[in-house]
């Protein structure tokens, strides 16, 4: 099966604001929008927006049983586990089980995430 998606649209335009969904438990400080998803494998591509001041420290570190690629579209995000500022243009290829986060965000940051649970 292939990922299905809306073929052409601008996820960052004001007219697409209603497609973004708040991440549970973040008081609207983190939002995401799925760009494409494979309903069978669970593989997906999404954007996550961290608002200025977002802090995921209460959730601790994160790890997945599958590979994940991230690209910083705009802004910057501090990955505490890796002691690294991920800034606009940064790319990370996280292997299954790699620890990342929690994250701190001083200014708004948009992250492109490509996750492949089918490879767990």
pLDDT digits (tens, 9 = 90+) for 44-57: 999 999 999 999 99
Output the pLDDT for position 6. Answer: 76
- Whether 67 is covered by a domain: the verdict is yes
pLDDT tens profile 19-45: 999 999 999 999 999 999 999 999 999
- Whether 3 is covered by a domain: the verdict is no
Output the pLDDT for position 69. Answer: 98
Output the pLDDT for position 71. Answer: 98
- Give me the CATH number covering residue 61: 2.60.120.10
* DSSP H stretches of helix in 11-113: none
pLDDT tens profile 101-120: 999 999 999 999 999 999 99
Domain that holds residue 97: 12-119
Q: Which stretch of DSSP H or E encloses residue 35? A: strand 30-37
pLDDT tens profile 55-104: 999 999 999 999 999 999 999 999 999 999 999 999 999 999 999 999 99
What's the total number of domains in the chain? 1
Output the pLDDT for position 48. Answer: 98
- Whether 5 is covered by a domain: the verdict is no
* DSSP H stretches of helix in the chain: none
- Whether 37 is covered by a domain: the verdict is yes
- Whether 1 is covered by a domain: the verdict is no
Question: 0.85 cut: is pTM over it?
Answer: yes
- Whether 19 is covered by a domain: the verdict is yes
How many degrees, rounded to 5, is the angle at CA 78 between CA 30 and CA 120? 70
């Amino acid at each position: 099966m292939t990922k299905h998606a809306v073929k052409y649209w601008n996820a960052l335009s004001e007219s697409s604001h209603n497609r973004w969904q708040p991440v549970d438990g973040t008081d609207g400080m983190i939002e995401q929008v799925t760009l494409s998803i494979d309903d069978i494998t669970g593989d997906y591509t999404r954007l996550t927006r961290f608002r200025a001041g977002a802090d995921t420290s209460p959730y601790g570190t994160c790890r997945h049983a599958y590979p994940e690629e991230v690209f910083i579209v705009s802004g910057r995000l501090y990955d505490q586990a890796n002691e690294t500022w991920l800034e606009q243009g940064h790319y990370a290829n996280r292997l299954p089980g790699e620890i990342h986060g929690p994250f701190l965000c001083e200014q708004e940051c948009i992250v492109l995430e490509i996750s492949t649970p089918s490879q767990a």
